[in-house]
Structure 1
Amino acid sequence: MSPEHNSIRHDRDSVARTALALLDEVGLADLSMRRIAARLDVQPSALYWHFASKQDLLADLSDRITTAIGSSETDVLATARAIRDSLFAHRDGAELVLSTYALRRGSFLAQTALIAALRRSDVDDAEDRAAALLHFVLGHATLVQQRMHADSYGALPADGPVDVTAGLDRVFDLGVTALSGVERSPAAPR
């Protein structure tokens, strides 16, 4: 593609928004720099003006997925639910955030929100508990997304439950409550 062919200039934000839209369409496994570039009608090398590597782009997407969490939630369980729900808002959102977190490149917003919620609950070891909670939330959300994908492809056993996520809210709440050391708020049923 020649510069004359593509007169639209893309910035970091437009590249990331396009990548996030593609993530929702094709999933993490099929999200490539080549595919993003094709959607933007540019050469793949043009993306590297905005992101030094695909991992940098994925870290940015991870932050975008979790940015809505903030620390506005009133308690630990509500914060954990907000994180989980933000992961569910995007196809393979949990897997993407988990992978960037594993490489220490993303998910800082989620961990910061958990630390703040734990501190509001007067938990002494808020940083350690926040890390444990984030591990649990990421693992739980990844499990649920994997089950939903398998169900959508008919890959689950036919004799299993109709709703592949049945009972998982209860398990999620139990795990968050146990790990946080904070009693569940009576005003927070799900």
Structure 2
Amino acid sequence: MPAPGSSRAQPLTRAHVVDTALAILAGVGLPDLTMRAIGTELGVQQSALYHHFANKQALLGAVADEIIARGPRRISPPGDWQDRARQRCGDIRDAVTAYPDGADLVMSMWAFGMGGNAPFVELCDLLVEAGLTVEVAPTAARTLLHFVYGHAYDEQSHDHAARSGITFGQRAPTDFDTGVDIVIAGIKGLL
């Protein structure tokens, strides 16, 4: 049932819930992304959301998938696997940093096996194609993603602290590209 004053005419869909969750995430960040806030924004009772998602974690998993899906997807450059891996890592970083706390959300859902798995699968496939064994490629892909998500989380944490008036002194320029190059060089050593 719509909330008083709501002009909601269309039926509630899974896509509406995820879109609304993303809008709230973009506006206020992860701590305030609650089922109550989503229901209020949609003009429905919280219980209506559970017709589409078993629990909040399932919703957050879908939000993580959507963050990745909406992220940039530059055309893979012709060339070696290293350039393609660098580009994909940059696209993933841009996707998760497009939303406040996006890195935290995607990283957590991926770690729990509840969402955000597409980059892992893509990197595994790329690394197998490059010549890694199917036994080693998942470890190499996880290592790349740990760096990408960890670096993005670090950036977002410092940005949040700065907005909150917390200062940590002078922050060094980002070293994302160098870090990705170091991880890729390590992977190359396994080939």
Partner of 1:137: 148
Partner of 1:149: 160
1:41-190 equivalent positions in 2, closer than 5 A: 41-67=43-69, 68=71, 73-74=76-77, 75-124=84-133, 125-157=136-168, 160-161=169-170, 164=171, 166-181=173-188
The aligned amino acid for 2:56 is K
Q: Deviations over 1:4-25 (max 9, x none)?
A: 9754311000110010110111
What is the total number of aligned residue pairs between the two structures? 178
- Show structure 2 runs of 5+ residues with no match: 78-83
Report the TM-score when normalising by structure 2.
0.82
Give the conservation status (yes or no) of the 8 Å contact 1:69–1:110.
no
Identical columns (%):
35
Distance 1:173 1:131, change over 3 A: closer
The aligned amino acid for 1:48 is Y
Give the conservation status (yes or no) of the 8 Å contact 1:71–1:117.
no
Tell me, in whole angstroms, the C-alpha distance in 1 between the residues paired with 2:144 and 2:66: 20
Distance 1:135 1:151, change over 3 A: same
Deviation at 1:180, TM superposition (A): 3.0
Tell me, in whole angstroms, the C-alpha distance in 1 between the residues paired with 2:186 and 2:48: 45
Deviation at 1:147, TM superposition (A): 1.1
For the residue of structure 1 that corresponds to 2:115, the secondary structure is coil
Q: 2:38 aligns with which of 36, 39, 44?
A: 36
Deviation at 1:178, TM superposition (A): 3.7
Distance 1:156 1:49, change over 3 A: same
The aligned amino acid for 1:136 is F
Note the aligned Cα RMSD (angstroms).
2.4
Q: Deviations over 1:47-80 (max 9, x none)?
A: 0111110000000011011124669534111111
Deviation at 1:106, TM superposition (A): 1.4
Tell me, in whole angstroms, the C-alpha distance in 1 between the residues paired with 2:182 and 2:105: 22
Tell me, in whole angstroms, the C-alpha distance in 2 between the residues paired with 1:94 and 1:166: 19
For the residue of structure 1 that corresponds to 2:21, the secondary structure is helix
Tell me, in whole angstroms, the C-alpha distance in 2 between the residues paired with 1:66 and 1:108: 9
Distance 1:180 1:90, change over 3 A: farther
Report the TM-score when normalising by structure 1.
0.83
For the residue of structure 2 that corresponds to 1:155, the secondary structure is coil
